[in-house]
Amino acid sequence: MTLTAAAFDQAVSLLLIDNGVYSLKSGQQPYLLDCKDVRPVFESLDFYDIEHIYAETESLRERGLAPVDLCLAVQLLSRSEIGPLLGQQTVIVNV
């Protein structure tokens, strides 16, 4: 959805909260469960000009993760900064 929206020249921001932050954890071996590796998709975000990738600090901390554990550079936001970010959007989709 992110890539499709970006392909239609929409300004897209991606926000990872709660268990969503795990999707960027480095060192995952999805092939062990015959699952598709989504890392190439995340790595292609830059190619699609999706520069705004956010992760919530509290969500990372609650899961014992730090920004260095992630396979992509993200902008960190505190929980109280989520509301203002959402308020700036015209369309919000949760996955």
Exactly one of 11, 16, 17, 74 binds other proteins (CB under 8 A); that residue is 17
Exactly one of 10, 26, 38, 63 binds other proteins (CB under 8 A); that residue is 10
CB contact at 8 A, 13 and 54 = yes
50 Cβ partners below 8 Å, 6+ apart? 2, 3, 6, 12, 13, 14
User: Which of 61, 56, 60, 54 has the alpha carbon at shortest distance from 15?
Assistant: 54
**Residue 94 binds to other proteins (criterion: CB under 8 A):** yes
Min separation Cβ 27 and other proteins, Å: 26
Which residue, 29 or 78, has its beta carbon nearer to other proteins?
Answer: 78
Sheet with 13-16, strands from edge to edge, namely 13-16, 52-56, 75-77
Binding mask 53-92 toward other proteins (x if CB under 8 A, else -) reads -----x--------------------xx-xxx-xx-xxxx
Judged by the rule CB under 8 A, the positions of this chain that interact with other proteins are: 1, 4-5, 8, 10, 17, 58, 79-80, 82-84, 86-87, 89-94
